[in-house]
Amino acid sequence: MDGPLSDLIVIDLTRALAGPHAAMMLADQGARVIKVEPPAGDDTRSWGPPFVGPEEARESTYFLSANRNKESVVLDLKDPADSDVLARLVERADVLMENYRSGVLERLGFGTERLHALNPRLVVLSITGFGHDGPEAQRAGYDQIAQGEGGLMSLTGSETPTKVGVPIADLVAGMNGAFGVLAALHERERTGRGRVVRTSLLAGMVGVHAFQGTRWTVAGEVPGPAGAHHPSISPYGLFETGTAPIQIACGSEGLWRALCAALDLDATDARFATNADRVAHRDALTGLLEAHFATDPAEHWLEVLRAAGVPSGKVRTLDDVYAWEQTRSQGLLLDVEHPTLGALQLPGSPLRFDDAAHSGGRATHLPPPRLGEHTEAVRAWLDT
């Protein structure tokens, strides 16, 4: 094993996406992550289409997205013998991650007291849907529900509440969880003891409200959907051209003046004198800009804006993103060899270290495991 976390052993009891994403973040940095799955496997092994591979060994692309660099061990935690295997894993681990509903792990015999009795240095990450306590602690955690309950859908789209196109509540909860684990591991260096880190899908959604949150908590305004434009900055959003939409981000008065110069617009127009004025007259400004942009194709305007130093860009489809040379130059695609699927390209870690051309902290990356692929090897390791 290699990478900055290569001295860590992580037991991943999670399924679906939030927990597996947190564990994969540590695995990308070299941690040995042992994914403990029930006999039926992680739920996402059946989430599709699309599925790939031969019928007798098909794999869900959803599962492949969140489980690289892990080992898979199958345990039935209701079986005393398999429960004993988990206890032995806990004794050797640095981190245990779980995303059961509150109380389930205790009923399986692995409450916090027992975990720390087995291993006082263990850091435990617990991810729930709505928090481990409070009046709605027992609610199941699903991204779609959390995006709505956490307010994000009320800010997204134009008129109808719209969810983000990826499971953002799961992903943010996973990122928060991984960050909390590293904080607890750092603290352990001083105290010699582990602790429980808790986060939730709800916490992740509230935690990314950013300026929209303080619009309510400080200014008393209830934000609504802003569509493809920024609610507090203008022009800052999506604009139609003669062929395809482009995006513009004028985040300062200097950039606004540069845009006016590039497009031969009147920078002294009183309706648009300040950012507050431009926000107040957004519809008029959008109409003015789009009438201008309608005369030429998107690529022409992107070139004009680049030359003027105005931040701008196109809206790429995912095939275009992964073919884009800038994406590839950042090491954001990983090549792995899967035992049944052969050569695969996977989206990589967003982190890149100064001594590597690829993403993640490891020199080599492993494919997502087949169900139970490492059961015997891990059991043998426990016997050494």
Beta-bridge partners for 238? 247
Tell me which residues of the chain have a pLDDT lower than 50.
none
**Per-residue tokens: 29:** 């940095």
Report in angstroms the alpha-carbon separations of 349 from 34, 43, 65: 19, 23, 11
Catalytic residue, chosen from 170, 266, 319, 354, is 170
pLDDT tens digits for range 297-311? 999 999 999 999 999
Q: What is the pLDDT of residue 139?
A: 93
Find out whether 339 and 370 touch, Cβ atoms under 8 Å.
yes
Domains of the chain by start residue, with CATH: 9-208+328-382 (3.40.50.10540), 246-314 (no CATH)
Q: What is the pLDDT of residues 212-254, one digit of tens each?
A: 999 999 999 999 998 999 999 999 999 999 999 999 999 999 9
CA distance 81 to 87: 10
Burial class (CB in 10 A: 0-12, 13-18, 19+), 377: exposed
Instruction: Name the pTM for this structure.
Output: 0.94
Query: Is 283 assigned a catalytic role?
Result: no
The answer for residues whose C-beta is within 8 angstroms of residue 273's C-beta and 6 or more apart is none
Which H, E and C letters describe the chain, residue by residue? CCCCCCCCEEEECCCCCHHHHHHHHHHHCCCEEEEEECCCCCHHHHCCCCEECCHHHCEEHHHHHCCCCEEEEECCCCCHHHHHHHHHHHHHCCEEEECCCCCHHHHCCCCHHHHHHHCCCCEEEEEECCCCCCCCCCCCCCHHHHHHHCCHHHHCCCCCCCCCCCCHHHHHHHHHHHHHHHHHHHHHHHHCCCCEEEEEHHHHHHHCCCHHHHHHHCCCCCCCCCCCECCCCCCEEEECCCCCCEEEECCCHHHHHHHHHHHCCCCCCHHHCCHHHHHHCHHHHHHHHHHHHCCCCHHHHHHHHHHHCCCEEECCCHHHHHHCHHHHHCCCEEEEEECCCEEEEEECCCCECCCCCCCECCCCCCCCCCCCCCHHHHHHHHCC
pLDDT, residue 363, reads: 87
Q: What angle do CA 140, 146, 151 make, to 5 degrees?
A: 150
pLDDT at 285: 97
pLDDT of residue 2: 86
CB 344 within 8 A of CB 338: yes
Mean pLDDT of the chain: 95
> How high is the pLDDT of residue 1?
57
The tokens for 61 are 């692309």
- Percent of the chain predicted with pLDDT > 90: 93
